[in-house]
Structure 1
């Protein structure tokens, strides 16, 4: 019969035999064997509980407690039957009653009482309380764990299979701790039953000896009472071991097979506990008076099982080593090829000579820094950027990296191996390759790593090449954030808001706006460098405005008005906002020239007027920046979106606010006015 079939039938058959023990008398030799098995298996369970790394690795433990409790009670019933009928219940109980406690009833009762106090008052009560608290905390933590799994899945940190596995582990953990909360009551009830059974045996044995068999009181005590105490001690030793195992499990989750297979597989999964328990069973043969055959058989069986477990562990390790080779051979499957041809939202191509920046074995730490960057972007912009796909690209020149968005290169830079980037004005004396810092365009030089200290002493800022790539990548993500925000990302963000503010989401989508329309609004905000972290207020503003219009510009303006203080705070320096404004007649001219366009309203200004507008605005911005100010342009809310589109190519860093967004600002200081009359004068 196959081993799996035996494991499926072994435990059910064993439970049936336990029930039979309750009604069928057992010979003393069989009782000795079963008692030895009870003690050794209890020790094995304790050692297994100590060796497992996670409670879920021993998920069959609650069911095993019930089976072992029933087995021990059946042994009590069988032993009581033999004691009262024959005055003899096997060598094991006789030895515990005479040798272990020195043949003294008083000593035996004291030892028995101490074991009960240790088990019932200390271990069982503590384990029961821990199991109860663990079950409550596990159930309370389930929603948070599910949200964390969903967030990791949508951010690309894990795939669907891993998410499914983690969800099953969360449910299994909740089931396990709930089962342990109930199983701890079995342990407590077993301790109470041991007291009752021992007291009944003492009284019953004394009565049978004196009243039925005509023994003297001393003879009845010697014959029956010591056997009753021995039976109590024999049952309390494994009960105590199980109580300790229960405490170990609950202070440190459910399998897919049936209970019998799970118990046998999990108990025999570790070779070391089997060996230790086997040798412990054999060492019990050294105790004088104990029968050697039962413990030799029990310990030998465990040692035999340990050899099989060791072979299975070695086979599993060998199979694990073969997995990479099997995966390598399966890279040409249609599924793998389809995965390869997909366009990644965000990619980083590296030339072959700088691939070490992503290799941990070579000291590369780019990938951990990218993970930190994703967290920072999420905190700054309120979106989860897609995972970065890194590839080696033989077509790139040496020392070069390229950043791609949806497969299209948007930025390129250099990161020569063995060099650092020194940024500063006094780099002439340092040998190296002149270049420009890729984000801010500052003069810089790639110097050998050995010259880092010398460059720092000369006043230069020294940046390692991984930081250069990460900073460049962060700048690209900031500028391309609207393109990277997918429909799926919007759904994720909406679901997150719905968990805490369900009414806000239910009013907005899909009743008033679709996810696509919400996506366009969020993309427009990101295009202007506005964080969408405060989605609750954005959705509230959209739900009010969407009742009268679905024009994206108007929806964006409503969201911006709700975020007004945050928008102004980004341009506030020392409590003051430096603003540029438009002359009223120019604003009126712009309002009259507005025309609807495919991507929103545009300003249909005369080319000459538009040129003068851009020229004068550029002069005012430069003049303000020379004095250390970062001005922002303010205008009427009706023309703000169109004016922003007009200025974006020439003034991408200039903020454009409406008058309504400045409401409540502490101090506003005008640094210039764009004059329409001056613009209309011929050059």
Structure 2
């Protein structure tokens, strides 16, 4: 064993021997001074700890100091009752408090005992009990939090082990403190009983055995009793206060002194109020200004200095942040942040800032929220967050919409005007600035407020600038929805479906298809504006046919056939005949003969002459329907639908291509045109 360990063991043994063996008065004086110094040291250490576990030995130290204090009480009691003198320390403390007035000194001592027992000791005991109870109750939650962080990868196994050990040590510590404070309470009660014994016993022994008269016995033993109580109660008061500080300390960045100065002195305006109140007390009450004015001046000056320091620190923090940002820009790692590309961006010139500024009445943010909800309902797609920013490089009234950093649309707005679209005939009385509706490319006019009502009466469709932007943004999102659906977004949809259909998802992914395969099928559906909201039907179909083929084009055709009811309702009006352009037998035969097989799947190898002929014939039929105000729909057989779609995709992307298997049997179909070679 080391010398330090042997010293501690001998010290505890010496404390026990003090209760039995007589101690000379000079040694007792030294031990009393050591007791007071040790109590003061414990209090200062408790004030400078940042958290309770930094002083983990405190419960055991509390028991040792209590035992030491009781041993000193017993030793001083033996000397008081046997010799009528307990050393210089006890006599000095007793004479200092009594000061020639035994009654006053005794009352002051009793007040000290009441404060020690009722206020400090009882309070520390209650705080320790509540802290132990709440710490034990919080253990399961803390353990679960650690396990959750470990499973999420936020911490490693070593960090989790350390945090578990800390939680266990906290529980053990507060449990030990709860028990140790019971000893402090017992020590306070024992001190009161020893006080009574010293006073009564000393008074009896002094008069009966030492031959003192009443006055001498009362004076001698009262002073000794008060002195003995003080040299024991003062260290007990310090240690009880230290125990209260330890169990009430929450985890913080500093010790008690730094937290007090930082948190209590963080409100200079309140110090102004306090200083002003103290000054008013001196002016309007019998309290003289000589008493209050200096203290008020100190408070006001301190508030002024604190306010200046806070302003200076704020400036320093801002400068440090600016320097840090500059350093981040200069650092090589800052280039990584430039690689991030926003899925959707909406940029506008400074003249359109009122659209997005809520304080100026702009509701663009609310409209974007509704657009995301609309796309979720119509397409089954969770639209990413749309980044809105102003761009001084654009014209004042210009806006640009970007998908993954590339411009896909834009236009110009006149905020104080309305966009009026013609009903098919022009009214010469309606005048305005000629323009083009950005979403559908229709001819339109920018008209002012005075012309709005007349244009509506003439049959014009009149919309405000925010509605123009919202419509344009919605149509572009629908058009490029397949670009916004990546593997990560597909994984999110899969996880959402797994909550209600775990068996279906687990059967399909990854046993039958990978997430990437599913993403390709969903993207192909969105490319043709087919909603993927019914993921259950889509996944059921993929689970059935994914065992036989991995070709996303073939799987998409199977899924489209399973979504026949949805597709029928999307492209036909209830109770009305569905008018379509059909593909003639010669064209179907030509496309079927031009399909080639490869290791990656099948593809269409149609000669350029035939392709040009198809474009020409189909354009004639489409233009004829458009001129009559009808939506052109191309209907073909299931075997060549996807190949025909590949032919017309680049030039006629908005023309729906359906197969007979994708329509419900009860829908009435009318062919209004045939495309043949």
Asked if these proteins are the same fold (TM beyond 0.5), I'd say yes
Contact preservation (8 Å) 1:579, 1:633: no
Cross-structure match for 2:654: 652
- Please give the secondary structure, in 2, of the residue aligned with 1:198: helix
Cross-structure match for 2:321: 323
Give the Cα–Cα distance (whole angstroms) in 1 for the partners of residues 602 and 523 of structure 2. 13
Contact preservation (8 Å) 1:545, 1:555: yes
Alignment equivalent of 1:190, drawn from 172, 177, 182? 177
Cross-structure match for 2:53: 63
Contact preservation (8 Å) 1:582, 1:673: yes
Contact preservation (8 Å) 2:39, 2:235: no
Q: Please give the TM-score of this superposition, normalised by the length of structure 1.
A: 0.60
Cross-structure match for 1:119: 127
Can you list the C-alpha shifts for 1:227-269, whole angstroms capped at 9, x where unaligned? 88887766555555665666xx8xxxxxxxxxxxx75479736
Contact preservation (8 Å) 2:93, 2:231: no
Give the Cα–Cα distance (whole angstroms) in 1 for the partners of residues 58 and 457 of structure 2. 74
Q: Structure 1 residues 492, 570: CA separation in 2 closer, same or farther (over 3 Å shift)?
A: same
Mapping 1:110-509, distance limit 5 Å: 115=123, 118-119=126-127, 123-124=130-131, 127-128=134-135, 131-132=138-139, 135=142, 138=145, 167=154, 183=170, 186-199=173-186, 202=189, 239=243, 264=254, 268=258, 271-273=261-263, 275=265, 315=313, 318-324=316-322, 327-328=325-326, 331=329, 346-351=344-349, 353-354=351-352, 377=375, 380-383=379-382, 385=384, 388=387, 390=389, 392=391, 394=393, 396-405=394-403, 408-416=406-414, 421=419, 433-441=433-441, 445-446=445-446, 465=465, 468-486=468-486, 489-490=489-490
Q: Structure 1 residues 267, 508: CA separation in 2 closer, same or farther (over 3 Å shift)?
A: farther
Give the Cα–Cα distance (whole angstroms) in 2 for the partners of residues 313 and 548 of structure 1. 72
Can you list the C-alpha shifts for 1:137-178, whole angstroms capped at 9, x where unaligned? 74697699x6xxxxxxxxxxxxxxxxx9xx579x99999899
Mapping 1:73-112, distance limit 5 Å: 76=66, 79-86=69-76, 99=108, 102=111
Q: Kindly indicate whether residue 643 of structure 2 is the aligned counterpart of residue 642 of structure 1.
A: yes
Q: CA deviation at 1:439?
A: 1.9
Q: CA deviation at 1:560?
A: 3.2
Contact preservation (8 Å) 2:376, 2:383: yes
Give the Cα–Cα distance (whole angstroms) in 1 for the partners of residues 488 and 54 of structure 2. 46
Matched positions, count: 572
Can you list the C-alpha shifts for 1:50-97, whole angstroms capped at 9, x where unaligned? xxxxxxxxxx646358576666566545544544444689989x9999
Give the Cα–Cα distance (whole angstroms) in 2 for the partners of residues 554 and 208 of structure 1. 98
Q: Structure 1 residues 361, 589: CA separation in 2 closer, same or farther (over 3 Å shift)?
A: closer
> How much is the aligned-residue C-alpha RMSD, in angstroms?
6.4
Q: CA deviation at 1:436?
A: 3.8
Give the Cα–Cα distance (whole angstroms) in 1 for the partners of residues 672 and 106 of structure 2. 106
Give the Cα–Cα distance (whole angstroms) in 1 for the partners of residues 572 and 126 of structure 2. 68
Report which structure shows greater RCO (CA 8 Å, sep ≥6). Answer: 1
Unaligned runs of 5+ in 1: 1-16, 46-59, 147-163, 250-261, 278-303
Can you list the C-alpha shifts for 1:20-66, whole angstroms capped at 9, x where unaligned? 99899673442453465478x3xx99xxxxxxxxxxxxxx6463585
Contact preservation (8 Å) 2:124, 2:241: no
Q: Kindly indicate whether residue 47 of structure 2 is the aligned counterpart of residue 30 of structure 1.
A: no
Give the Cα–Cα distance (whole angstroms) in 2 for the partners of residues 444 and 174 of structure 1. 69
Give the Cα–Cα distance (whole angstroms) in 1 for the partners of residues 258 and 422 of structure 2. 66
Contact preservation (8 Å) 1:552, 1:600: no
Give the Cα–Cα distance (whole angstroms) in 1 for the partners of residues 172 and 455 of structure 2. 70
Mapping 1:502-541, distance limit 5 Å: 513=513, 516-532=516-532, 538-539=538-539, 541=541
Q: Structure 1 residues 651, 207: CA separation in 2 closer, same or farther (over 3 Å shift)?
A: closer
- Please give the secondary structure, in 2, of the residue aligned with 1:669: coil
Give the Cα–Cα distance (whole angstroms) in 2 for the partners of residues 655 and 18 of structure 1. 93
Q: CA deviation at 1:482?
A: 2.0
Give the Cα–Cα distance (whole angstroms) in 1 for the partners of residues 623 and 411 of structure 2. 29
Contact preservation (8 Å) 2:127, 2:244: yes
Q: Please give the TM-score of this superposition, normalised by the length of structure 2.
A: 0.60
Q: CA deviation at 1:519?
A: 3.9
Cross-structure match for 1:545: 545
Q: Structure 1 residues 30, 334: CA separation in 2 closer, same or farther (over 3 Å shift)?
A: closer
Cross-structure match for 1:11: none
Unaligned runs of 5+ in 2: 1-6, 16-30, 78-88, 98-103, 206-220, 268-301
Mapping 1:33-52, distance limit 5 Å: 33-34=40-41, 37=44, 41=47
